[in-house]
Structure formats: C-alpha cells, structure tokens
Amino acid sequence: MFPKASIFLFLAASQFLLRSVSSVDFVYNTNFTSTNTLLFGATVDSPSSILTLTNQTARSIGRGLFPSRISVSSSSSASPLPFATSFIFSIAPYKNMLPGHGFAFVFLPSSATSAASSAQHLGIVNFTNNGDPNNRIFAVEFDVFANQEFNDINDNHVGVDVNSLTSVSSAVAGFWQGERFKELRLNNGDNYQTWIEFNVSAINVTMARAGSRKPVRPLISIPLNLTGVLVDDMFVGFTAATGQLVQSHRILSWSFSNSNFSIGDALITENLPSFKLQDDSVLKSKGFIAGVSVGAFVLIVSVLGLLFYVVRRPRRRVEEDVEDWETEYWPHRVKYRNVLDATKGFSEENMIGYGGNSKVYRGVLEGREVAVKRIMISPRESVAGTSEFLAEVSSLGRLRHKNIVGLRGWCKKGGESLILVYEYMENGSVDKRMFDCNHEMLSWEERMRVIRDVASGMLYLHEGWESKVLHRDIKSSNVLLDKDMNARVGDFGLAKLQNAMKEMVSTTHVVGTAGYMAPELVKTGRASAETDVYSFGVFVLEVVCGRRPIEEGREGIVEWMWGLMEKDKVVDGLDERIKEKGSFEVERVEMALRLGMFCVHHDPKVRPTTRQVVQILEQGRLSDDGDEREREGMEVSLLERMKSSYLLGTSEGRQQQEQHPTFQDVWNTYSHSKSFESSDSIFQGR
C-alpha cells in the first residue's frame, strides 16, 4: 500500500514531470457511444449508453477502447507515466447457461484482435504469444474460470498481468474491511467499482460494491516495473471473452487520468441499472397455483418419473457427467459412450498392451483406428484432484510432429478412470519388434532410421515447441512404428512442460523406468533435458545391441558396453542376429554405439544436447543456432571424436574425470572437408 506521505510527494513531483506530456483526463458516466469509444465486437446499449463487451454469443471477443492512443511514457525518458483509473462493471450470467470467462482493463499497443483468442485468453493474447515479452501488454483481469494453464488461484479472482495471463500477482475478488476480508462474487450480476492506481514503481488494485466508499486497504498492492511495457502511445480500455461458457460483461462508468488520482470520485455510483438475474416467485407463479389444483396429477407424474429413473439407471451407469468447463481444454473431450463402443466395452480381445495401472486397447472412433489408454484411478485419487493432469494433457495435445504420436482426445469415467485417445500405430512398438518372436525383426537400416526418428522427435520436444517438454520415459516400448515404419515417440504419461526460466523439474518421487534413468535422476528425483538424453542413449544401445537394459543374470547394458569399449571391441556389441545377416557397415555401428555411450556419460554436463545428437546422426551437418556458426572447410570426425578416452571412461580418461572436454571442444579439434549445411527439417510438423 502506498504511504500517504509518499503519495503526496509523488503527486507533487508528477505535476512537474507531466508538464512536457499532454495530460489525459476523461469520464464516462453511462454515456458510452460509438463515437467516443472504439468498438471491436462490443456494443453500446441504447438508451442506457452502457458498454457491453460480450453477450450470450459463444467464443466471442469484445473490446471497448478510448478512441485514440494516449501517451504512456515520458517524452524525455523511457519511464512509464503514472495513471489512475476507476470503473463500474457488472458480470452477469444468462439463465440456464453456464457462465464464463472474464474481462480485463488493458493497455495495448494495437487495437486489433487478430493476435488474441477467446475463452480463457480473455481476448488479450493467444496460445502462441502468451508470455511473449514483445507483447507490450499490461492488464488487470477479472476472471471467473480457474485455468490450470495459467496457474489461476480459483474461479473468482483479480490478477495483474504483464505480457502473460499467468498473473504476477492475484487475489480472490473482494475487499478488506479493517482486518476482515469479504469476498465478492464477480459474476452474480452486482455492480462493482474498481480503482487501479500506478505510481511508476508500484500498483494498487482496490474493489468494492458500487456506491460504497473506497476501502483503505487495497486488494492487491505490489511493486511493479512497467518500463519497456508502457512505451510511447498505446490504447487503453477493456477486453472480454466467452468460450463454451458465456456471460455478459458490461462497463457502466469509467474514468481515467494520468495526473489526477482522485478522478474516480467523478463517477456516478447511484441509480445504476441492475443486471442480476431475478428469482421467480414460486408463490405468485401460475405453476404453483396449477400445482396445488392438480396435486394428485403431480403425484402420479412423480411416481412415473421414479419408475423411469429406475428403468434408465443401468444405462446411465456407462455415461459420465460432462462438466462444460472441460471442453475448454484441447484436445476436445470425447464421449465415454463412444470410447466404450470403439473398444467393444474394453474387451480383452481389443487389448494390445498393459503396464502399471493402465491398459491400451485398439478401437475405431469416427471411422479411424485409434489406441485407447485407460488409466485406472485409486480411491485416494479423485478426478477432482487430476486438474493438473488435465491441464498437462491440454498442452501436450497441441504437439504436432511427424515423430510424435498424436493425442486425439480424452475423457474420464466418474472417479474410476482417465482415458487418452491416441493415433493408432499399425506396426506396434520397437520393443515388440526387437524381442517378440511373433514379429519380424528390425533390419539394421530400420534400426538406424528408428534412432534418427526418435532423436528428431526429442529435439522437437526440447527445442521445437514454445515450452520445453521433458518426456522422462524414453524407452523402446514407448517408441511406436506407423504403417510406413516411421518411429514416433509416444506415451506422455510422465511428461512435463518445463518453464524456459527453469533448468530442471523437481518431483516428489522418482519417475521413469529402471535401466533407463540417469544416475542423477535416481539420486535427486530432478528431471532435465540431460536425463532425457541419458534415456535416449540407453535406447540407442538397446536397439543396436538387441538386448534389454537390464536382464536377469546378465550385466547391465551400459556396464557391459563400457567393458567392450575399454577393450576397443565396440562392434562386438552389435546384435548377433544382425551379424548373421551381415548387412551392416562397421563404421556406422561403431558410431551408433559410441553415440549411445556418449549420451549415458555419468556427468550430465558432458552429454551432448539433443540438437548435437541429431547433428551427429545427420553425419556432421551443423545448423546455425547462435553460438555454433557455420564453418566451411572444417571436418568433424565423429568416430575419432567419440573414441576420445576422456569421454569413454578408459583408464586414462578416468584420471581426468574432472577435466572432461565439452562437445564444442572436441568438435573443434578436427577439420571437415565439407561445408556444414543447416537443416530445419527436424522442426517440420505434420
């Protein structure tokens, strides 16, 4: 909260600073018009002259802005100017319709809505630009939907947003009365007044019922630096959105000033129209009178209704309650009845895999073959507690790449199970192709293609999407083959989105599969891109050697390969079945095995990045990605590079474990006769 003395000094100083900037002051007291307001999808009600941002139209965006840009930063510096605004708003539901989503007071660099989406994005940003520092957007949101995607605190909150809908600060909607907090329900149709005051270094957000005095204690009071956000001239006003859920968002009055912090006092707060839904009086209704007159008839209807319920009950057991808010998540939810029919009631004959608490079934949904994963939920894990999982699914469902198994939809069955619907992969898993005698064995060329495809898919997860995605369970049974024998990474049951500002994802328990987990993951439980690379390295060894990472009575595959490398007998690790066929190149076998061992190095810092793995598999083509520049005439001898005793744990290398050369150090040691070529194909989606 601003100290009174500092506000006085600030206002005195601001008067001097603002002399060089044209002052902006305006007041709308239920006198909005299409002339004094810039409208995009919004309307001005007549004759009340109230700004209506949205109505009962689904998936709509409405904006009402001051008709011209205003100065938001000092002409002599890049510092943002102070401002004070106050407005009276009403959010009201429609009868027999579920309400959502919310509105915001905003500063925008452009009046256009082309870069904004409806529903949970509130008409401010969209899925791809949310969080982009180049947005130059400041907003105070009034949101009635709890979006896990944005870490919303609940379904009735106020938040301060800077370039992102993940608020820098948020609070339950309401006001402080002394030491007591009183919550206000945003979308009950009541009229509320809000005060937003920014003094260049901090912001206060206060709200109360219209007609009440401004509370002394703000709802939100935080330091805030808007340098680089409020720049030059910008639009100011309001934006709102609906999704499947709809409600009206109205602005009744609005004042704004960059010099007068008491301008909110100019708003008329009495005799304002009300938008609360009126409860019909049962006693005065014709229905009540008719009901009393024909009580016997009502009794008969009740009995018939009860009988109908009993008859229909067995059928309803296979249905599920679809909560409308869930349809906001992508991929769109599918009906449980359709999934049940597609899998023939989850029949055993349709089951194609199982593990842990889940089973996978083959089915036909909307004329297309799909794989349906059914995850059983223990009694302690209610579906209400799976909101984080559903939000994760909604994000992962947007992944699109030729080497990623596509997620087509999901549903849930009460508190019993969660169901994911994937694209069906006709040729099953690499695991079955490697170790199941009923399937044709993968040839050497097919194995190398699988390794390249998986590396390409991992690079997309780590670098090709807007957020880094850690798979956390790369293994042969999670790599599937489509009808053309293209490998695709699947089963994102353990996957996590990783914020670009964080280096690792912490978990409360170790997740993954024994034999594929990096030593540091087992020790700390912290997943990272390096632990994914380690799992990929084990996968490479598994595919080339034709043996599982851990087999009873045998040495682990990583330890076994270390022994062969110390004896300089790397190629001896090749699958005996491939040796018998003889259709392989010794150099490529050695490269693949040394690459696998390079990825499972005990020091995470020494392991290559996923991009470097792809470069190796593409035979030395180095893409220009900033620090690594194209260098013509420089040869990269991959085989010699990965023979380095520093990296492979020989006796000489073990004496220098603390001085491992980096990937770039070894890369730069050798010259290349060909110029490097940039390859962006790894990022091409479908």
Question: What burial class does residue 490 get, using C-beta atoms within 10 Å of its C-beta: 0-12 exposed, 13-18 middle, 19+ buried?
Answer: buried
d(CA 51, CA 53): 6
| Euclidean distance between CA atoms 420 and 358, whole angstroms | 11
Average pLDDT over residues 314-322: 47
Residue 323 pLDDT class (50, 70, 90 cuts): low
Q: What is the pLDDT of residue 414?
A: 67
* Tokens read off for 624: 């220009």
CB distance 61 to 239 below 8 Å: yes
Q: How many CB atoms lie within 10 A of CB 485?
A: 15
Of 68-77, 160-169, 277-286, 301-310, minimum mean pLDDT range: 277-286
Mean of the pLDDT values across residues 42-66?
90
C-alpha pair distances (Å), 347 with each of 343, 344, 350: 7, 6, 5
Least Cα distance to 38 among 236, 202, 189 occurs for 236
- Could you tell me how far CA 523 lies from the centroid of its own chain? 28
Spell out the domain ranges in the chain. Answer: 4-266, 286-316, 324-423, 430-493+512-624
> pLDDT digit string (tens) for 87-109?
999 999 998 888 888 999 999 99
Provide the 3-class DSSP secondary structure of residue 343. coil
| Encoded tokens for 516 | 């594929």
Question: Which of 270-284, 377-391, 557-571 has the weakest average pLDDT?
Answer: 377-391
Q: How far apart are CA 627 and CA 667, in angstroms?
A: 13
Mean pLDDT across the stretch 657-683? 35
Among 3.40.50.920, 3.90.550.10, 3.30.200.20, 3.10.20.740, what is the CATH number of 324-423?
3.30.200.20
Is 247's pLDDT higher than 70?
yes
Asked whether residue 373 is marked as a ligand-binding residue, the answer is: yes
Quote the DSSP letter at residue 658: G
The one catalytic residue among 473, 491, 532, 575: 473
* Pair of tokens at residue 409: 């939809």
Helix (H, G, I), strand (E, B), or coil: what is residue 390? Answer: helix
CATH of domain 4-266: 2.60.120.200
In DSSP notation, 41-55 reads B-EE-TTT--EEEE-
Whole-angstrom distance, CA of residue 517 vs CA of residue 527? 10
pLDDT above 90: residue 632: no
**Please, which pLDDT band fits residue 661 given cuts at 50, 70 and 90?**
very low
Contact 610, 455 (CB under 8 A): yes
Report the alpha-carbon distance of residue 620 to residue 626 in Å, rounded. Answer: 17
Q: Which two tokens stand for residue 248?
A: 């009206």
Chain position carrying tokens 């808010």? 325
**Amino acid identity at 211:** G
CA–CA distance, 372 with 342 (Å, rounded to integer): 9
Look up tokens 């599982």; give the residue.
Answer: 548
| CATH number of the structural domain 430-493+512-624 | 1.10.510.10
Is residue 385 classed as helix, strand or coil in its secondary structure?
A: helix
Burial 647-673 (b: 16+ CB within 10 A, else e): bbbbeebeeeeeebbebeebbeeeebe
Nearest in space to 198 (alpha carbons), one of 76, 72, 308: 72
pLDDT at residue 315, rounded to an integer: 47
Q: Residue 682 has what pLDDT?
A: 35
Can you point out the beta strands (E) in 214-367? 220-223, 233-241, 248-257, 351-355, 358-365
- Rounded to 5 degrees, what are φ and ψ at 243? -130, -135
Q: Which amino acid is at 25?
A: D
Residue 260 clears pLDDT 80, i.e. is over it:
yes
What confidence score (pLDDT) does residue 610 get?
93
Mean residue pLDDT of the chain comes to 79
Per-residue pLDDT tens for 575-593?
999 998 888 889 899 999 9
Query: In whole angstroms, what is the distance from residue 67 CA to residue 181 CA?
Result: 37
pTM of the model: 0.50
pLDDT of residue 619: 65
User: Which helix (H) or strand (E) segment is 236 a member of?
Assistant: strand 233-241
pLDDT at 326: 54
Among candidate residues 406, 398, 402, the one with its CA nearest the CA of residue 422: 406
Please confirm, yes or no, whether 568 is among the known catalytic residues. Answer: no
DSSP state of 609: P
Name the β-bridge partners of 222. Answer: 203
